[in-house]
Amino acid sequence: MGWASRGEGEPDSVICQAAQRDNSTSRMDGRACYLKKPKVELHVHLDGSFKPETIIHFAKKRQIQLPANTVEELLKIISYDEPLSLTEFLSKFKHYMPAIAGDREAIKRVAYEFVEMKAKEGVVYVEARYSPHFLANAKVDPIPWEQEEGDITPDDVVDLVNQGLREGEKAFNIKARSILCCMRHMPKWSLEVVELCKKYHNDTVVAIDLAGDESLILEADAGHRKAYEEAVRCGIHRTVHAGEVGPPSVVKEAVEVLKAERIGHGYHTIEDPHLYKELLNKEMHFETCPWSSYLTGACDPDFTKHPVKQFIKDKANYSLNTDDPLIFRSTIDVDYNIAAKYMGFTEDEFYRVNINAAKSSFLPEKEKKDLVYKLQEAYDMVVTTGL
Ligand SMILES: [Zn+2]
């Protein structure tokens, strides 16, 4: 079973309003027309996007025990399509990360295949995020996934991912950049993360992120704060997972203390009307992931009551993203179909979301303008030909 064909649990594909209006031939290939346009994706975890075939390949090659040996059986264990708690979600990684972490060829290959996968989904610009420490087996304390100590440092990991992304860009003709993640439960890694962001600045790495359990108190350790201060000082862009399952106070802290320029998820921001209004005024970008939010129980499972509905109404600056497509058995089509089917998305909203994503990307200004132009051109072309 191929990557793109894994889709149990996907909402039905729906036709876009334009196609309904003019009965055009835009569905000739069976896909709704909004799915065929170029997309920008800003929130997707590289380590939540491996191909199951690749996990099995490297596990066999490295003689690492997996909980299953076929793609189907493996997916039954590491992916799901009914809501689980965030803790249960996080427990999925331990099953397959040991097959990839600590192996040069595997790390480079998953980055390359990530670009291939996104190109097939019609994504023209993507920012892939990951923790370099989670893929290392040297100079990392503790060594993750119960690996033996080896010789791949977090620095080597970034270099290998960069090679894979660059080769993927050439082969599949899309643009891919990366974001390095600090982990909330590992503040002692964060200063190393920002140093890697500096070393590889614009050499695919465009920003720093903070991921993991939002209930952990930021001030319990100064590691994250210091790392973000250094990022500000060195002109490294900043995003933070906040307000996904956590309260608006985590979002407030991300903006005020960590100087986040974008918020990962941010759904619960709307529970604090004052903060929400302030962020709307600032045009803060929210990286929303509808299907992910359903499966992690971050939001009301009824998509018609999803915070994105409020974002649409308020013309907020936000994007649509997959988050962890391996674990959620999804592609970007799933999130776009949810938006169309349950959230009342129009063609205009898909356009606005992608333009906003491009404008809020962490590309240098010139490249950002080129990306915005590329999208405008694609959407204008669609309008003039009536598709
Ligand atoms: Zn995420």
Q: What is the pLDDT of residue 29?
A: 54
Query: CA dist 57 to 54, 61, 190, Å?
Result: 5, 6, 32
Stated pTM of the model: 0.90
Bond from prior residue into 142 cis (ω within 30 degrees of 0): yes
Question: Rounded CA gap, 361 and 262, in Å?
Answer: 9
As given in the structure block, the two tokens for residue 326 are: 């391996």
HSE (CB half, 13 Å, CA atoms) of 200?
26
* Residue 73 designated active-site: no
CA of 203 to the centre of ligand 1 (A): 22
The confidence band for 14, taking pLDDT boundaries of 50, 70 and 90, is: very low
Residue reference for tokens 């590491």: 78
Could you report the per-residue pLDDT of 242-292, keeping only the tens digit for each?
A: 999 999 999 999 999 999 999 999 999 999 999 999 999 999 999 999 999
- Chain-centre distance of CA 74, in angstroms? 22
Question: Rounded CA gap, 139 and 154, in Å?
Answer: 7
User: Which residues lie at CB < 5 A from ion ligand 1?
Assistant: 323
Contacts of 206 (CB under 8 A, 6+ apart): 127, 177, 178, 179, 237, 362, 363
Query: Do the beta carbons of residue 129 and residue 79 sit within 8 Å?
Result: no
CA of 44 to the centre of ligand 1 (A): 6
CA of 324 to the centre of ligand 1 (A): 7
Question: Rounded CA gap, 15 and 37, in Å?
Answer: 14
Could you report the per-residue pLDDT of 37-74, keeping only the tens digit for each?
A: 999 999 999 999 999 999 999 999 999 999 999 999 99
How much helix, strand and coil, in percent to the nearest 5, is found in the chain? Answer: 50, 15, 35
Question: Beta-carbon neighbour count of residue 65 at 10 Å?
Answer: 8
Q: What is the pLDDT of residue 141?
A: 96
